[in-house]
Chain A
């Protein structure tokens, strides 16, 4: 049955394979053999690499083996573009077709195709590659049966059907409150059943309950906890609590179109027929985005209408106002519902990672435990989907390069078992993901040696510790002494950084030699609205995210201390905070004296540091709709997006952390190996 986490992850892997294969085909088709594009070759390489990585997690030995050899061929092409010819491009196409056959054979558990082997052999010969020793000797994969008990998950979720009787209401019980209490037990999928209303208005008795609910709760909940919630209404309702094979709520909540297998309509099994067909939610993301945008417009429109009505001085109890209130409420509900389509807990992502860690621990002979924190943290579905690859790479890197073998750990006075901590939380209106390992940390001398030997940096350029750590994000950088089947040939941290940037996020490394490494990813929630404070500065209207404002205060000129080179600090309750004029920082005005006051916003940044921002006035606090600027303007220092205010005016949304940070290091994307 498909209703267990493993089957879901596996189905997800094959869906991902389809996308990757499509990318692979498109990229090979787009390859210009005269002047091969390095990015395109990297994309091709990574597609095969990703398929290999996922296949290894499920123990699809033949698929891994084929992808591994194919990757070897592509690695050769990546280092020397001049080897690419038109005939070779066709062979790459054939090899990709063979890879697709291998994927299908893994999916359908049929015997794998063999024709691809000769193509690979031919490619290897043309590239002058001796057969990779790994293929013959030490590259093998030991499939490991998944033990569901280690996931602490039973296969069947709880299904609760709850139909209140009239006496439930007359005794002061409220179904909504019971549902709320249930939700504290775990992610609850709630479906309201309205059959009681089907008989129509003539038959409708307002004194009789007409609604009932069907709920699905995570399998790991204890039945007694569910029963406790219903303790007071026992006998006042019809209640059934059972374990039902049902897809987990986070999958279903994403479903828009339910794909059901229909044997009659499809008598001949097509090669693409899925073995694990679960009601999957396949939504064209563009449609959801379009809906989101429209709802954003709706919210702006509603705000503008409200403003016009207020300006027209219409009486509060007039039908116009009543109608407007209902409209406002509905708009809010539509907005929340649309958000809910996209907001998902990070739990499935983390679940996938815990399996990855177990498998990787076995294949590397290291002892590793994964601690996950904040699984219920919700974030936009796109963000979750696009985090899978970067996180996979980062965890593999942590296992391969961070965590030491048990003997080495013991010698260093550590526990033989390494710990990787994966933590998600909302902070300052962003999603923060922290990946911490207690391994050896970054060997900076080695990183420098390799970077110099690869020509990534000049030998004499001085680098501080942070800059050295960031060299790991350069394409093609790999510090592993030998190529490992796990994290591969230096695909990894460059992919991570590109993917995170693509989401409008940031990634940073902090490492303590001997103590471990911490990767911190900061991502916008990309939920299309934001609670903001509207401020005026230098005749501009700007929005500051409320989440980054700790407090506001009047600016007392006596509390400002100049500390040279145009910098100043604000003395506040005996401490000092760096002080900035928002208008100056954004280039709206030259530095001015603030003798006649102004307002300071005390802001908190993602690294928990604080600073003070001077603005002229505060207009109001309100929710604003985020309108992205990235697509049209790229990254603007200090500005995360824009919004449209109730009066139709466009206002920029300030990102205080970005604004007050040093301009980022120039992107190292240009240093593609080869």
Chain B
């Protein structure tokens, strides 16, 4: 096993204390303004690095698809400090609906942005909007939000790859959780089945992980860009990108980090879940919406910006059309 490198550790310490005295050579956090609103999302820089992805066979709660552990190298990237709240996603939704009211429900010829179809009822499921995480969106709806944001915010945004997500969640640690191997103490870091009061909670209220990221464990499980492949890790090449390209199929895509309905084991850094058709089972329309799920009220997302983007992901667009 290749020992993981630790250029991250020094950087992590630096970034914790770097809010006022930023060193010239260390990238600083920045905020992205959601077009047409005053809403901002804070983006945290993470150094590139190499880490062990997946969990050891003896880890408590581990499932087979978390192995074998393998080495992955990621390029430096920025990741949103929090899960994306409704106040940010809602701007995209509202534009789509306003265009509909104006009779412009066709794709925009200039940037080919598509907008969500109107939700059948209350898209917040009664949990409220504002700082509540945007939930029950399909991976297509999330990828198209990122394309729209990229068109209006001057930088490209996308979902993290599964490897980037796990790298960010681990924040330089090699334990089951970013705070240790045992779930003791999870209440201060995460919303999960025991403390969530059976609902998603406003983003960013719990303690951050060592790199300053909030709600990586719990609250809502988070979409990553990868299609789910239970055997992906066995096929991974050492030091590779660790990425399974999504295609035209709606199902299944990976979600990470566990959510408010889950037990601690499902919140582990390496725990993988994937989307399934039953997530849309109460969609009264046929065919079922490619924008909205009806059951996944515990699934949300966060975004990344990669300055030196991987060739495979340049200009990424959702390929799901039905």
Q: Do A and B come from one complex?
A: no
A interface residues with partner B (beta carbon < 8 Å): none
B interface residues with partner A (beta carbon < 8 Å): none
